[in-house]
Amino acid sequence: MFIIVNDKMQQNYRYELAEPEGQNFAPDFKPELTPPKMLELGVFEGKYLNDCRQEFPSYWFEKAKITTQSNPEINCFKLKSRLSLQEWQKRGWILEPDVRGWFQWYCRYYYGRRIPQIDKIQIKRWKAFSRHAAQIRKNCPILDFNCRPKQRQALLQWAYNPFI
């Protein structure tokens, strides 16, 4: 099955779903949250993927917290926790063809798209992000969700369980 993307940031991008949704991940990639769960919990101030509903299954958006204006209150931890897309681009964090960054890559990977060279890079970035969970475990009392909320929000936005 092929997906054709036509949204505000990408026109006529086409990719194939090579794997069943949510299955057959690389052995070293074990995200703790699915894209629908991340959207439900509140990520990226509600602004992410709000124009991409045609690309992904409708059930992903049934409980999603999405808005047309960035709103930190929509985030799970009720705070601003992201840099602008321009800053991501400046830092070299955007890899084609995923013009919105890591979460877009993860959504497409979860959905079934595979691009081995890009997948390898993005999985390496995801694994490196686990250092934030280690910092929470080291510095916060167990289940004290007020401890390091910005790091917890970031973990959520990288498919790690922030409720540690």
Q: Per-residue pLDDT tens for 132-159?
A: 999 999 999 999 999 999 999 999 999 9
Number of H helices, E strands in the chain: 6, 2
Buried b (16+ CB within 10 A) or exposed e, 132-154: bbeebeeebeeeeeeebbebbbb
Strand pairing partners for 13?
Answer: 5
Q: Does residue 94 have a pLDDT over 90?
A: no
Candidates 136, 156, 159; CA nearest to 148 is 136
SS3 110: helix
**Relative orientation angle of helices 102-111 and 116-128, to the nearest 10 degrees:** 120
- The residues spanned by each domain of the chain are 2-128
Mean pLDDT of 62-82: 90
Place of tokens 């929470």: 136
Average pLDDT over residues 66-87: 86
Q: Rounded distance, CA 50 to CA 40, Å? A: 13
Confidence of residue 18 (pLDDT cuts 50, 70, 90): very high
**Beta-bridge partner residues of 5:** 13
Model confidence over 38-50: pLDDT tens digits?
999 999 888 888 8
